[in-house]
Structure 1
Amino acid sequence: MVQHLAFTTKISGRVRVLTNKVKIGEAATLEEVERGGYQLREYTAIWDTGATNSAITQRVVRDLGLKPSGVAEVRHAKGKSSTNTYLINIGLPSRSMFGQVRVTEADLIPDDGADEKDHTQVLIGMDIIGAGDFAVTNFNGRTTFSYCQPSLREIDFIPEAHRNNLGETRAERRIRERELKKRGIL
């Protein structure tokens, strides 16, 4: 049976930047990790659906003593440039590990008012986000984001929005809810 690993990050207010803690280590195989002595370091990560691939800062490179695995051309708001690539393992709050991830080196803008130790050092891009399900809500003015890997199901807000907007009768609502349950939405 497939094991699904998930996490949810809840923030007390509404935010425009999605961050949480991730663990980063030098690229290693499962056998190397299981042998022991493998170290992961915790960093603040930003989740960016507009980024094709994940990235790390020079601080992560320095902390882990990483050596470049190559060079890649990256496109960004200021155009394009060549930057070093590195192979790393990325551990998510769900305890899932993405191994041998090719990331680029990036300059990430420090968060206003954050302690230096909490500055964003990792960018999680669509290479990781696209491997599972990712949802963001702002219910009651509180941002929540959730991730599950591998994918569990399609998320579609339309049926619930229609139900809320249409003011259905109780009988109509029961019929619609049965249909949604059959489809795994409720």
Structure 2
Amino acid sequence: MKSNESSLSFTTSYKGITNVLANDIGVSQAFDPSLEKNPKLPIISAKAIWDTGATTSMITKALAKKLKLKPISKTTVNGVNHSSLEDTYLVNVFLPNKVLIHHVRTPQCDKLSGGFDFLIGMDVISSGDLSISHAGGKTKMSFRFPSLGGIDYVVESRKETARRKILSKVNRSSPSKGTRLKGKEKRKKQKLKKKKN
């Protein structure tokens, strides 16, 4: 599994809080973009769901049929109540903002709940950085590939606390605008008194 590093990241903002992370993506037969600039392969639009609980990405039989994929091997797929031996394919996944991940191994499944065509599992997610936030009552998901560094909210919180302490000390040690104005007025009055005397 590799990436086209001409574009590395994308962000999806949702209208409110969501418990389903989904994107419209493109899927094609596998090819190496560094070797094939304009391959004559159809890229089919698909609805994808992100699933951190899935170890591998998956494609529905219907989408695999549309793409005319040829299996490269068999994979045992474990479901909630059963397991089955399924055809496995190599595909290219076109994420939003032209983020391309090619040669993704994907077993097929009969269907995905919610009407999705493709499931993005931890095989893809763990190769990059995924962050999810819910500030202002709106879910925002951001993904970049490959991984460039981690996010540590504890470290961020400590830095913010230290910054606020410094600002608080500066504000206490510096005279306020009102105090400075009063000082100027006092000096003016003193000068006027001296002139009168």
Q: Against the structure 1 CA distance between its residues 108 and 166, is the aligned structure 2 distance closer, same or farther, given a 3 Å change threshold?
A: farther
Q: Against the structure 1 CA distance between its residues 69 and 100, is the aligned structure 2 distance closer, same or farther, given a 3 Å change threshold?
A: same
1:139 aligns with 2:142: no
Q: What SS class does the counterpart of residue 104 from structure 1 fall into? A: strand
Supply the distance in 1 between the matched residues of 2:139 and 2:21 (Cα, whole angstroms).
9
Which residue is 1:54 aligned to?
57
1:80 aligns with 2:83: yes
TM superposition shift of 1:35: 4.0
RMSD of aligned Cα (Å):
2.6
TM-score normalised over the length of structure 2: 0.74
Q: Kindly, what percent of the aligned residue pairs are identical?
A: 31
Which residues of 2 match residues 9-48 of structure 1 at below 5 A? 9-30=12-33, 33-48=36-51
Which residue is 1:103 aligned to?
106
Asked if 2 retains the 8 angstrom alpha-carbon contact of 1:134 and 1:146, the reply is yes
TM superposition shift of 1:76: 2.8
Q: What SS class does the counterpart of residue 71 from structure 2 fall into? A: coil
Structure 1: state its 5+ residue gaps: 112-118, 175-186
Supply the distance in 2 between the matched residues of 1:150 and 1:30 (Cα, whole angstroms).
16
Supply the distance in 2 between the matched residues of 1:38 and 1:32 (Cα, whole angstroms).
14
The structure having more radius of gyration, on CA atoms, is 2
Supply the distance in 2 between the matched residues of 1:35 and 1:3 (Cα, whole angstroms).
15
Higher helix share: 2
Supply the distance in 1 between the matched residues of 2:70 and 2:156 (Cα, whole angstroms).
50
Asked if 2 retains the 8 angstrom alpha-carbon contact of 1:4 and 1:150, the reply is no
TM superposition shift of 1:67: 2.1
Q: How many residues align?
A: 166
Asked if 2 retains the 8 angstrom alpha-carbon contact of 1:163 and 1:173, the reply is no
Asked if 2 retains the 8 angstrom alpha-carbon contact of 1:6 and 1:147, the reply is yes
Q: Against the structure 1 CA distance between its residues 138 and 31, is the aligned structure 2 distance closer, same or farther, given a 3 Å change threshold?
A: closer
Supply the distance in 2 between the matched residues of 1:33 and 1:59 (Cα, whole angstroms).
26
Structure 2: state its 5+ residue gaps: 171-197
Residues 128-171 of structure 1 deviation map (CA, whole Å, 9 limit, x = unaligned): 11111100111111111100112222101113334667994234
